[in-house]
Amino acid sequence: MIDLKVDESLKNYLETTILPLYDDFDAAHQRNHVDMVIEQSMAIAQSLNVNEDMVYAIAAYHDTGLTVDRRTHHLVSGKIVREDAWLPDWFSTDEIEMIAQACEDHRASSDHEPRSIYGKIVAEADRFIDPDTIVLRTVQYGIANYPRLDKDGHWQRTLDHLHEKYAEGGYLRLWFDNSPNVTRLEALREIIQDESLLRKKFDYLYEALTNPHLIGCNCPQCQPTKFRKLI
């Protein structure tokens, strides 16, 4: 467990006002996701000379822009930070601007390097690279957002996305050489390179996520959130 050296009043504000926003987001960005980003951010921060209150706040706000849309959520997150009337109780104007910029810079598909070490921390923490979870979320996102695709279309979309983002030469960048994401990314790349294994995982997940019985069943074996434990 990470020893959080965060102002208690700030922590209480974020936990009661900001973190509940994640309860209404998509499956890949719910409360467990922001909790993970906070934990990973604070773990990275412990070896750096940074303001831990800022690190905690950035992690808490980083995906709040999903209240508006997904495509520009990182930019909207920055706007939410700048417009939050309570943050001046804990941070200076310059610190609030740095928090906002870090939220804007956290997205993996961003075309520029994060402007500060704070942006790099949250960008790294946001990329908890569990191979099976990433495959699961890729398939989930495709099914939810591309309903006109058939199974072969979803397979191709899954394959294209994983290669574009995570394979050698993909756009995902890691910002800390000692990050546990380094070994996790290597494991994911091995799965991507083994197309036969990846196809087996995809077939299993696709069936589980589109089968009406499995979707409606509450037994542990049929819960989509359990799939990553099985693949």
The pLDDT assigned to 229 comes to 44
- Give this prediction's pTM: 0.71
> Is residue 77 domain-shared with residue 103, that is, in the same domain?
yes
> Is residue 43 domain-shared with residue 136, that is, in the same domain?
no
The pLDDT assigned to 226 comes to 46
> Is residue 16 domain-shared with residue 118, that is, in the same domain?
yes
Q: Does residue 193 fall inside a structural domain?
A: yes
61 in Cβ contact with 77 (< 8 Å): yes
- In this model, does residue 212 exceed pLDDT 80? no
| CATH code (residue 86) | 1.10.3210.10
Q: Does residue 2 fall inside a structural domain?
A: no
CA separation for the pair 167, 177 (Å, rounded): 17
Q: Does residue 72 fall inside a structural domain?
A: yes
The model's confidence at residue 224, banded by pLDDT at 50, 70 and 90, is: very low
CA separation for the pair 74, 58 (Å, rounded): 11
Summary mean pLDDT of the chain: 89
Instruction: Count how many domains the chain has.
Output: 2
pLDDT in tens, 168-207: 999 888 888 878 789 999 999 999 999 999 999 999 999 9
What is the b/e burial string over 109-132, where b = at least 16 CB atoms within 10 angstroms of the residue's CB?
A: eeeeebebbbbbbbbbbbbbbebb
Residues, the chain, total?
231
- In this model, does residue 150 exceed pLDDT 60? yes
Tokens standing for residue 19: 């973190």
> Is residue 121 domain-shared with residue 147, that is, in the same domain?
no
> Is residue 135 domain-shared with residue 224, that is, in the same domain?
yes
> End of a domain among 125, 148, 178?
125
Give me the domain span that covers residue 141.
131-230
**DSSP percent split of the chain into helix, strand, coil, nearest 5:** 70, 0, 30
The model's confidence at residue 13, banded by pLDDT at 50, 70 and 90, is: very high
The pLDDT assigned to 211 comes to 84
Q: Does residue 3 fall inside a structural domain?
A: no
> Is residue 92 domain-shared with residue 112, that is, in the same domain?
yes
Least confidently predicted of 25-29, 39-43, 54-58, 140-144:
25-29
- In this model, does residue 135 exceed pLDDT 60? yes
Q: Does residue 1 fall inside a structural domain?
A: no
> Is residue 118 domain-shared with residue 13, that is, in the same domain?
yes
> Is residue 118 domain-shared with residue 179, that is, in the same domain?
no
> Is residue 149 domain-shared with residue 115, that is, in the same domain?
no
> End of a domain among 125, 143, 160?
125
> End of a domain among 92, 125, 158?
125
> Is residue 119 domain-shared with residue 190, that is, in the same domain?
no
